[in-house]
Amino acid sequence: MQKKQSVNRRQFLRMGSAVGATAFLAACAAPAAPAADSGGDGEAMAETVSLRYQSREPERAAGIAELWKEFYPQFQEANPNVEVEFLPDPGGANRREGALSAMVAGNAPDLTEWCCSSSTFFMQKGETLSLQPYIDRDAEEVNLADYYEAQFDPWTLDGDIHLMPRFTGTQVIYFNKDMFDEKGIEYPSQEWGAWNWEDYTNLLRQFADADAQPQLWGTSNYGLNANWLSQYWIRGFGANMVNPEDNTHCGLDSPEAYDALEWMRSIIHDEPLFAYGADIGMGVVELFLGQRVALMEIGPWNLGVQADGATFRWDVAPMPDGPAGPTTHQSVDGTMVWDGTAYPDESWELMKWLTSPLYGRLYITWAQKQPSRKSLLPEYASIMRAANEKFEDINLDVFTDSVGQDIGGPEEMFAEDLVCKNQILTPAFDQVMLLGEKPVDLIVDHADVATRFNRGEINIEDLGAELDKLS
């Protein structure tokens, strides 16, 4: 009779340990070699190519997912050999770090959308593919004339364009009609160039009440700090934070910039009319929705939030002119092709589709945001109103008129943009604008340090000591 043998607990544990260790080592082993690369030659073009496309749409991620469902089948029908994996916005504030890691690891998405300084940052770091040869080749289809004049300024390196826009967000004034009516004050003009910063200041005075509990201000934005939020006012006064001719020079040392900064400081601290620091306390949108400010400076990305959250009647108006003329911010959201992509041709094909009028229309519908192509601007208001009846009484042409008239510009970027803005200028703006403890001269002094840092005259580790001298 054969002896029956069962595995006891100890033996099971031994086997389990051995299998676990083997599996771990197998997992640590180098991955199998990928299938033959299909990029490049003509024969390979017939094979299916897989692209990854990283979307950025924090406010309207769900809408973009719906957009993709409608857009992608049309793209694939025209490009049966290109498969695209859509990567939704992951959220969070640290996308740049994640993208950097993926680039260093050689695993970045083929196309990535960026906002603000990140787009220029990756171009300056050589991670973006120059699109200029493709743009030149497909000039008619791309039609650069269909974008506003300064659109490509932050994305141009040595004359070559590196990113293409999908969204142009114009900074405007939102105002609370009920609060205006209550005080019997006339609404701001709906035409660009029809009012100026002095009219604006006088208007704010009529709403601000420092003694009220809780306090009321006239207006606010995310915070007048060392970024685009103060840049549009500085441009309105005839200066630039970053010299357009020389991105190593901080232009805050000019008399015009001084006047702009002094006006900003005064409306925050002397009266006060502008609720500063909203971004680190109560957000500007909450201030406006809570009727603590009668006006706010913000872009079209807020339209959906505003329509959903407002319990009062509201509308939008153009930004007031500065002493030097009309001014506003036009956002810098664009899409890059990663320089390390194995499929630059296919990526460019997808890029063309993502910046096409077809996509632009879908973008208005699903994301309820302002497209970049001028040719789509006349359709913007009607598509928005069809998508959401709450926009029926809102003068959406205010946004698009500025683009049509080439008013305003995108965020200005230094050669060493992140250090200059975050480490050198922000502490000065904090002391002058947020805390009201120092005069505008401090910002001018910091501007000089920014210029010298950009030009390599100050090392990163000596920055603190340089700034200490100014305190």
Q: Which residues bind other proteins (CB under 8 A)?
A: 5, 7-8, 10-11, 14-15, 17-18, 20-21, 24, 94, 96-97, 100, 103-104, 125-127, 214-215, 277, 280-282, 292, 418-419, 422-423, 426-427, 430-431, 434-435, 437, 459-465, 467-468
* Residue 470 C-beta: closest distance to other proteins, Å: 12
In this structure, the dihedral spanned by the alpha carbons of residues 268, 272, 273 and 276, taken in order and rounded to 10 degrees, is: 40
Q: Which is nearer to other proteins, 20 or 40 (CB)?
A: 20
Q: Which is nearer to other proteins, 112 or 168 (CB)?
A: 112
Q: Which is nearer to other proteins, 18 or 139 (CB)?
A: 18
* Percent helix, strand and coil across the chain, each to the nearest 5: 50, 15, 40
Q: Which is nearer to other proteins, 375 or 459 (CB)?
A: 459
Partners of 271 in beta bridges: none
Instruction: For residue 317, give the H/E element and its range.
Output: strand 314-317
Question: Hey, is 456 helix, strand or coil?
Answer: coil
* Residue 108, amino acid: A
Is 212 in contact with 287 (CB distance < 8 Å)? no
* Residue 10 C-beta: closest distance to other proteins, Å: 7
Is 319 in contact with 221 (CB distance < 8 Å)? no
Q: How far apart are CA 285 and CA 282, in angstroms?
A: 8
- Distance from CA of residue 327 to its chain's centroid? 18
Q: Which is nearer to other proteins, 358 or 463 (CB)?
A: 463
Instruction: For residue 289, give the H/E element and its range.
Output: helix 284-289
* Residue 350 C-beta: closest distance to other proteins, Å: 24
Q: Which is nearer to other proteins, 207 or 391 (CB)?
A: 207
* Residue 465 C-beta: closest distance to other proteins, Å: 5
Encoding tokens for residue 241?
A: 């934070």
Exposed, middle or buried, 104 (CB in 10 Å: 0-12/13-18/19+)?
exposed
Give the max Cα distance, the chain.
106
What are the counts of helices (DSSP H) followed by strands (DSSP E) for the chain?
A: 21, 10
* Residue 93 C-beta: closest distance to other proteins, Å: 9
* Residue 296 C-beta: closest distance to other proteins, Å: 16
Is 444 in contact with 258 (CB distance < 8 Å)? yes
Q: Which is nearer to other proteins, 127 or 346 (CB)?
A: 127
Q: Which is nearer to other proteins, 212 or 386 (CB)?
A: 212
* Residue 210 C-beta: closest distance to other proteins, Å: 11
Q: Which is nearer to other proteins, 337 or 383 (CB)?
A: 337
CA-wise closest residue to 203 among 222, 218, 224: 218
Q: How far apart are CA 201 and CA 204, in angstroms?
A: 5
CA-wise closest residue to 217 among 134, 170, 275: 275
* Residue 466 C-beta: closest distance to other proteins, Å: 9
Encoding tokens for residue 66?
A: 């719906």
Give 129-155 as a DSSP string: PP-HHHHHHTHHHH-GGGS-TTTTGGG
* Residue 35 C-beta: closest distance to other proteins, Å: 28
